[in-house]
Structure 1
Amino acid sequence: MTVLKRKPRVDHAARREAYVGIAAQVLLERGLHAATMRDFAEAANAPKVLFYRLFPSREALVEAVFDRVLQALENAYASPWEGYGSMVGKLLATARQDPAPFLVVLKNCRTGPTGSDWETRLRAAMKETSLPLFKPGPDAPAGAEARSQQAAGMLFGLFVDSMITWLEDRDGLDDATRIKWWGHIVREARKATREAFRLD
């Protein structure tokens, strides 16, 4: 009697995550608009059809790279606050484990894929996390809610540029110093912005 061996089950979620990481590295090396599904498959040493089974299009795979970064940002900010700079420190620690997706998204969030809303979505996520710092006080003049929304998005550009610099280690600092610096920036920006935007 012949016993048939079962093929091991394929962990599609793990494969999908691996392909997203590989795609991010290829996008970083070849460029967001130049890399193709063939490039991704060759980098993974896998048939192109496997990519298409998990991602219906190149655009869906690129969007999965963005989603990985957005999820990491949301996870970092969902954890308990441990002081100024702590949330960005958690995000940086996550990004250090696999920097390619973060570099692809941050370097392209203002120009993104054609028709992309990467900047809008990333800016909205950052704004949401910053809103508690700019919540209007009970005696704030009329219109404070709208001003607080504006204030919450003020550090977006600095955040993007800083994260790119840190992940590429271009400033000569260590991560502890970077996060301490960021904490000082946020604390002072909050104080000055609350005064300028009349939030108290």
Structure 2
Amino acid sequence: MDDAAPLASPARRKPRVDHDARRAEYVSVAARVLHDKGLHAATMRDIAEAAGAAKVLFYRLFPSREALVEAVFLKVEAIILDAYAQPWEGYGSMVGRVLAVARKEPAPFLVVLKNCRSGQLDWEDRLRRIMARTSMPLFEPGPNAPAGADTRALKASGAMFGLFVDSMITWLEDRDGLTDEERIRWWGRIVKAWREAAREAFRLD
């Protein structure tokens, strides 16, 4: 008979919390709730309940509702910037990349794009700057462009902002009867023609 005392069970360690993953999950949940209930109607309680978490956990990662809403915008901003940082593969390729990512998780894009022109947030100005900056390579002034070409190029680069916003909303909601391949092909042709017409109109060559 073995009368040795049984070994004590080792204390169980609590699993480590991946705060970045949790934060990303909460931003995704927030985007869905903000989209379903409305940007200004949804509360932190609504979002916490949808995530199955205590509201206090949200406040540990986001000091305010405004900070959580801002995180949704930053998610969209990062996707757009990443798409435009990839090598150019032809007219429409950059927007095609944005759409492909947005298609996997449309709520953040729909929240931002549907509310960016409301005038209640600074999202429109920020998105316009992003789109203008990412479009600038198409409008680099030529060596013989008249004086003031840099200013005109900046204006030309932001001229399609409204069409981008409206088109992306329509595409994500599948309201035009087209496939994504058809949409990007259509967009590419528009951008090519727009670039040629804008360079002439804004005297960039």
Shift of 1:142: 1.2
- Structure 2, unpaired ranges of 5+: 1-7
> Are 2:149 and 1:135 equivalent residues in the alignment?
no
Structure 1 match to 2:61: 54
| 1:81-120 correspondence to structure 2 within 5 Å | 81-111=88-118, 114=120, 116-120=121-125
> Are 2:174 and 1:166 equivalent residues in the alignment?
no
In 2, Cα distance between the equivalents of 1:80 and 1:139? 27
In 1, Cα distance between the equivalents of 2:20 and 2:182? 36
In 1, Cα distance between the equivalents of 2:77 and 2:9? 50
Residue deviations 1:41-72 (CA, integer Å, cap 9, x gap): 01011110111111000000000000000000
> Are 2:152 and 1:147 equivalent residues in the alignment?
yes
In 1, Cα distance between the equivalents of 2:150 and 2:68? 37
In 2, Cα distance between the equivalents of 1:143 and 1:119? 25
> Are 2:39 and 1:12 equivalent residues in the alignment?
no
Structure 1 match to 2:4: none
In 2, Cα distance between the equivalents of 1:88 and 1:197? 23
In 2, Cα distance between the equivalents of 1:54 and 1:97? 24
Shift of 1:32: 0.4
Shift of 1:143: 1.2
Structure 2 match to 1:73: 80
- Structure 1, unpaired ranges of 5+: none
The share of aligned pairs that are identical, in percent, is 70
In 2, Cα distance between the equivalents of 1:127 and 1:197? 15
**Aligned partner of 2:187: which letter?**
W
Q: Taking structure 2 as the reference length, what is the TM-score of the superposition?
A: 0.95
Determine which of 16, 25, 42 is the counterpart of 1:35.
42
Shift of 1:2: 3.7
In 1, Cα distance between the equivalents of 2:28 and 2:77? 14
Q: Which runs of 4+ in 1 moved over 3 A?
A: none
SS at match of 1:124: helix
In 1, Cα distance between the equivalents of 2:131 and 2:147? 25
Q: Taking structure 1 as the reference length, what is the TM-score of the superposition?
A: 0.98
**Aligned partner of 1:137: which letter?**
G
In 2, Cα distance between the equivalents of 1:140 and 1:46? 58
SS at match of 2:63: coil
Quote the RMSD (CA, aligned, Å).
0.7
Structure 1 match to 2:181: 176
